[in-house]
Every structure is written in C-alpha cells, then in structure tokens.
Structure 1
Amino acid sequence: MITRKKANICLPQTLPNELIEEILLRLPVKSLLRFKCVCKSWLSLISNPQFAKLHFDVAKTTQLLLRSCLGSKIDVIDIEAPLHGDSMKLVLNIPSSSTTYKRKSMVNLVGSCRGLILLTTILPYSNLVNFMIWNPSTGFSKQFNKPFNNTIICGIGYNSSIDGIVVVAIVISRPTSIIEISSTEVHCFSSRTNSWSYIEVPFTYQLLGFEFGNGLFLNGALHWLVRSNDLSLKIIAFDVMERKLSEIPLSHDLTVRLQTYIYHLKVIKGYLCLWYVGSESLKAELWTMKEYKVQESWTNSFIFSNIYPIQSFYPIYFTKNGEILGYGRHHTLLKVNEQGELLDHSKVRRFINEHSILNYCMYTESLLSLPEDYEKSSKDE
C-alpha cells in the first residue's frame, strides 16, 4: 500500500504585487470594475490614473459603436465575433440630460479618443450645440455647450503636451456676397482649461454631407474630407497641439478619380485611407497614404470587384484575422475577405428607414477619465 506524504512546501498566500498588476493590466475593463470590490489594495491600484494609462496601452479592446435613430440607444458590436451571434446584443443608454436629449433632438456620435466618446446635439429651435464627453465603460460624462450660427464639423483629439482632451469645431459658412472676404473659424475646447479658444484662417470650405462632418484623429491631428470653393476635394487636418489648420495633398490619380466617384475618408490600421467606387463600375478601391502628409506615398492597397452591390459597401475596420468589416445598403453590417467575397452579414436594428444615415465610430475600452478630473479627485482624497 502506497501512502502519500505531505509535501513540505510553504506556498505564499498572495502573489507579488508586481505580478498582480501585470495580470490586471491585461483584463477587460468590465472585469476590473468588478475587481475593485476585492480588497482595498486592488481598489487603490485600479483607481490609479497611471494604472488606467498603462491599461489603455496594453489591453486594447476595440469595439464598433452604432447610434440608433430611435432615441438615446447605442449598439456595441464585437468586431472579432460573428455578426449574427451575441456580438449584436449589447446596448448602451446615452446619459440623459434635461436640456439635451429630448425627442426632437438629434444626437450625433462624433468619434472617440483614448476611450472617451464625443456626442453632439443641436437643441431644437436654437443654435446652441450641446457637447458631451463620455466614457461608456465607466459611466463618466462631462457636458458643455456653445452657440454656432452656421454648420460645424467637429471632432475629439488628445493633446499629449498638456495631457488633455481637445474638442474642435470648425464653422462651415458661405460668403453672403461676391466681394466678401471669407474665412474659416476654428473653435477649440480644452478639457484642461475648461474653456473655448478661437482662431481664424483665411480660406473656406464646403461640407460634403452629414456623414463627412465627424473628424478622424490620427498623428495628433483631426481630419475631414471637404470641398474647397473651386469644388475640388480636400483633406484638411487640424493639429490639436500646434493649433494649425493645413491641407493634406492627394495624388494626381486620386484627384482625377474623385471628381466623379463615391468616396469616403477612413483611418484604417493607423493610416489615412480613401475609399472610392466608380459610379458606373463594379470595382472599388482603397487608397492608403503610407507616409503621412507625403503626396507620393498614396498607394492603391486593395481592389474589390466581387462585392455586390459594390456601390453600397463602405469599409470600417480590418479585423485581426484579416476580415474587412463594413456596412452596406439597408443598414446591413458585412464582413468580406480581401478579395471582396461576402463572409458574414447582419441587419442593424432600430433604424427608422433604410435612408437614415448610419452613425458609428470605433471605440477602445478604457478606465480613463479627463486627466484634470483625476487630479481633482486625488486632491479631494
């Protein structure tokens, strides 16, 4: 008969603090919020703003957010999961406000930066625009407003020099007479100072449409596709640190093509991209600026010829396994391969009709708040 002897090994009751931190840094935000209740040391660690910054850099979980046209609902889509499964079931409620989200108010999901969402609402019968910075993972939100007499394009960015969030609103106005000297107003809200600043540049642009009004943040600048006064297409970039507005050159081939084509500006895999489809063609192309602001670096990355109908497919994101997530007609989400062959699809819910605009942004989960709110909380403690 074999008897077992007790091993004379003394196991530590807890893991080293450094190892615990490394493990927690790789967990999703939802788990970390629950783990705050484990003990005081975990609460202190997870609540630390430095931990939040490290977590954002390490454990990136990217999702697609879709705003419904029927009220203050946002669908959260797991871009790596099958579109017809549970990935379509999570719904967020936009934080309510007595002055903002009334039935006749249209909420615009502008974009995201460092785990913070920017929402705008134009109040009914008013020129007042309400802005909301919101972290849907933690529930943090901050609201502010400003009146604008003309149409604006806007976006949210991050100024690394001051560790602060910046909201940019560019006024798109038209001259009232031929002799009038036109200019463009750029208004910047800094979360650090909790105030607006204003600059003016001596040229004007025209808005292409509602779907082009939301800025794309890349390389410290917000980007929009607009039309200049000579009706040519331009990519404009506003550097949130230098507070300068500039134009990004298109290649000659793109300039010629975009005169008669359906087009969309994207940020895909960390590059500025242009997607366009021929109005009478069954072919679509994705052009990528391989070197930022270098005109000669525009490259034809993908040619799609098998997607049907090609005219209504617009890419959103490249998944980890090489699938291309996009949307098509009748508010359908699609996944295709690099040859344009359909792999998966699903209908988006709760839209009024097939002609309503699909309002979406890519969102990276985070524990981050506005840096100055962290500092205020630390002082209060």
Structure 2
Amino acid sequence: MKCSQSILATNTSKGMTTVVESKKQEMESQSKDEKDLIQQFERRELPHDLIIEMILTRLPIKSILRFKSVSKLWYSTLCSSLFAFAHLKFPNPSPTESLLIRNGKRFQIMSYENGEIDLVNVEVDFDVGDENMDLVGTCNGLVCLGSSSGRLSIIWNPITRKFHKYWDFEISNSFTSRCLVYWGFGYVSIVDDYKIVRVCKNMDNDSLTVHVCSIRLDTWRIIKNDAYDDTSHLRNPVFIRISGALVNETLYWGLPGTNFSFNLASEKLEAFPYLETSPSLSYVTTSDDEYVDKLLFVVNGCLSMYGTLVKGGDIITFMNILTIMKSPEVIEQMIVPKDLAKSMHHGGNLIGFTRSDKIFTQYMACLGVIDLTRQPLNITPLMDLERSGKSEIVNYCASLIPPNISVL
C-alpha cells in the first residue's frame, strides 16, 4: 500500500513538473519568436520600407512601442506621423474592448476581454489651471476634453502622451455667466480633418450658436444661423448629454422634446425624429406621449437612446425603453426592467461597444456591463468608481495619431 502511495505521489509530482516545464517552454518559445522576428528585421532580409508597410503597420500598439528600441532608424520611423496614419488604416483584429476612465483625478485605460479586466494608469502631462475640464469623447485614439467655460479644449493621445491645447479667447470672451456650453468631437474624412464642436446657449436671450474648430487649421469659426433650415425649434433647449454621440461623422444630442444632429462635413444642425417612434413595441406613440431623461449613446456602431417614455392619455404610465437605430428604417426597442431602470436613474450613464452586444454602464458609483443578448437585462458589476460627478467614461481605441495634425 505504501509502495502504491509512493508511486502515485511520484507520478503526481512528475505530472506537476511536466505542466510547469511546459508553461516555461511556452513562454520561452514566445520570447524566442519575438527575438527571432527582430533579428530577421535587423538582418534586412526584407527591405525596410516593406517591413514597415506590410508588417509593422499591422501590429498592435504594444508591440510597436517595444519595437521602438530596436534601432535609431526604427525609432524615428515608428515615431513619425506618416507611420501613425498608415497604422490607423489597419484596424487591430483583437476582440479586446477598452474604455478610457477618468476616475477622480486619475486617468485609466481599461481592457475587458472574456470577463477579465486589465487597468492601466495613464500619466497626464498637461496643466489646465483653473479650468474645469469635461471628458468630451474620443476618435481614432485621440481624446478631447473641453472646459465648462468654453475657453479651452485639449486634444490628447494617452498612448504617446502628446497633447495640444486649443484656446479661444476671441469668441469665448463674449460668453456670459449664464451661457451653457456643450461639446462634440469627430473626424471628417472628406477633408481629412478633426473638428471640435462647441454648442452655446445664452440663457438671457435663448439664442443658440455653434462654433467649430479645425484641428488642421487650429482656428475657431462661428457657424451662421442661415445654415439651419429652421431655428424656431431651438428656443429653450435643455441638453441632457454634455457631449455629442458620434456616429458616421455626425454628432447627436438628446433633448426633452426632440433630438438634434450636427453633420461635421456639411456643418448643419438639424432635428431628427427617428428615435421617437416605437414600431417594435405593442403600442404606437401619440402626440400626448413624451420622452424624458433621454441619453444618446453608441452601441455596435449604431445610434441608441435610453429614456423614459411618459405615456399620456387617460392613464399616465412610465416605461423605460432602450432604443437601437440600425438605420432610419430599422429600429429595435426593448423595455428595461424596473430594477435596472432604478439603478440607471441614480446617476446612470450608458457607454456602448462597437464590437459586441454588451454595453458598459456607469451607475451610482460603479461600472458594470449589460449583455443585450440575455433577457431580462441585468447589470454585472465590474469596478468601483468615484462618486457621481467625479468619474467619466468613454470608449477608447488606441492609436499613434498626433494631437496636432497641422504640423504635417
């Protein structure tokens, strides 16, 4: 019996040793493969330009940052703006989904894959003085922050740690203390330019104006009112979301009465009614119905809205509805359970993915995730956040794009 136990213990020990050695060999093999790759590059078995164009542009950001130390030539090439734009053309096939989180005074990039969370702290090198900055949004790896005063906006790349400040004293000096400022940020492919959009409402006379800053030209412009078809519906707007939701080079904001969009290419502000209908539910909205507490966001690349529909008529009812607009003709809607809606109403916010059916949600002082493929909808907690007003979250996809493309 003792002999059998001894043999069993020996076999178990050998099995554990085999597993450990196998893992060790696997790690050594991965390290060897990377070293071999660098050695092949250094021997110039391929022309340098071909290596850059056909191989390095397709690598993930982490590998590129490591490969900068290969040689001075590689460093200068991988740090160039031309390589940054070439790399952006080849999307990373990794299913990793990331968020940029402003948690109190800290900035973090969170990767979420297969239920695993990876948090990386990001150093901030810029000083904003007395300006109170809001996290406006991201586009192609660039992050936009805007001040509540409207004077300052910052374009920042957290990966390269480079930033550029876009001050506007000429227009913003005309602002009053009763002027509300709302921001948007996005890319315009037809002119190869990034634009910062600032929507200002003067509370004294109810006037609404739009200002646009071209990143390439580093200048602010006022968009004249004759660019709008009708301005009568712009009186007394109450914006729910301080930053516009970006879909197909158009920014969207939600208002109690209707929704508004600003096309970055045509620079035109328009109302759109698409999310106000309810074709997939068991009823149709009427003139007595009204959406309140609306929040526009993006999920799977589609403009979406979470809001409370107040059903009018003889009996007033409240229904919390999640709407996803696949196209102006295809709209999907679902009723949100009361328990989930209750959590969302306590400082809630929705942040949609672009590559999955899950939605990050910021509720109370927590970050969680909602799986749209499972019914009923529920929140799975992921991490704790600072109290309401101290945390902001946006979707993020890393890049090497410079924050000031006017230098090109």
Bin for the TM-score computed over the shorter chain? 0.7 to 0.9
* Letter of the 1:151 counterpart: L
Find the counterpart in structure 2 of residue 345 from structure 1: 381
Q: Please give the residue correspondences for 1:82-121 in structure 2 after superposition, counting only pairs within 5 Å.
A: 82=115, 86-87=117-118, 89-97=119-127, 100-102=128-130, 105-121=131-147
- Partner SS state of residue 138, structure 1: coil
> Using the alignment, how far apart are the partners of 1:260 and 1:220 within structure 2?
25
1:249–1:260 distance in 2 versus 1, CA, 3 Å: closer
Are the aligned partners of 1:283 and 1:310 in contact in 2 as well (CA < 8 Å)?
A: no
**Which deviates more from structure 2 when the two are superposed, residues 57-66 or residues 142-151?**
57-66
Are the aligned partners of 1:80 and 1:320 in contact in 2 as well (CA < 8 Å)?
A: no
Find the counterpart in structure 1 of residue 191 from structure 2: 162
> Using the alignment, how far apart are the partners of 2:406 and 2:223 within structure 1?
27
Shift in Å at residue 43 of structure 1? 2.9
Gaps of 5+ in 2: 1-39, 226-230, 279-284, 311-315
The size of the alignment, in residue pairs, is 333
1:319–1:120 distance in 2 versus 1, CA, 3 Å: closer
Shift in Å at residue 275 of structure 1? 1.8
1:251–1:137 distance in 2 versus 1, CA, 3 Å: closer
**TM-score of the aligned structures, taking structure 1 as reference length:** 0.75
* Letter of the 1:79 counterpart: Y
1:81–1:54 distance in 2 versus 1, CA, 3 Å: farther
Q: After the TM superposition, list the runs of 4 or more consecutive aligned residues in structure 1 that deviate by more than 6 angstroms.
A: 279-283
Find the counterpart in structure 1 of residue 321 from structure 2: 285
| 1:171 aligns with one of 200, 219, 227 | 200
Matched, 1:268 2:310: no
Pairwise CA RMSD: 3.2
Residue identity (%): 23
> Using the alignment, how far apart are the partners of 1:26 and 1:16 within structure 2?
16
> Using the alignment, how far apart are the partners of 1:75 and 1:15 within structure 2?
40
Are the aligned partners of 2:188 and 2:195 in contact in 1 as well (CA < 8 Å)?
A: yes
User: Whose helix proportion is higher, 1 or 2?
Assistant: 2
1:198-231 CA-partner distances (Å, limit 9, x unpaired): 123234254545x60101222222211124xxxx
**TM-score of the aligned structures, taking structure 2 as reference length:** 0.71
* Letter of the 1:138 counterpart: T
Find the counterpart in structure 1 of residue 155 from structure 2: 133
Matched, 1:241 2:265: yes
Are the aligned partners of 1:101 and 1:107 in contact in 2 as well (CA < 8 Å)?
A: no
1:304–1:19 distance in 2 versus 1, CA, 3 Å: farther
* Letter of the 2:68 counterpart: K
Find the counterpart in structure 2 of residue 53 from structure 1: 85
1:21–1:167 distance in 2 versus 1, CA, 3 Å: same
* Structure of greater Rg: 2
> Using the alignment, how far apart are the partners of 1:319 and 1:219 within structure 2?
12
| 1:74 aligns with one of 87, 107, 127 | 107
Shift in Å at residue 301 of structure 1? 4.3
Gaps of 5+ in 1: 1-10, 177-181, 376-381
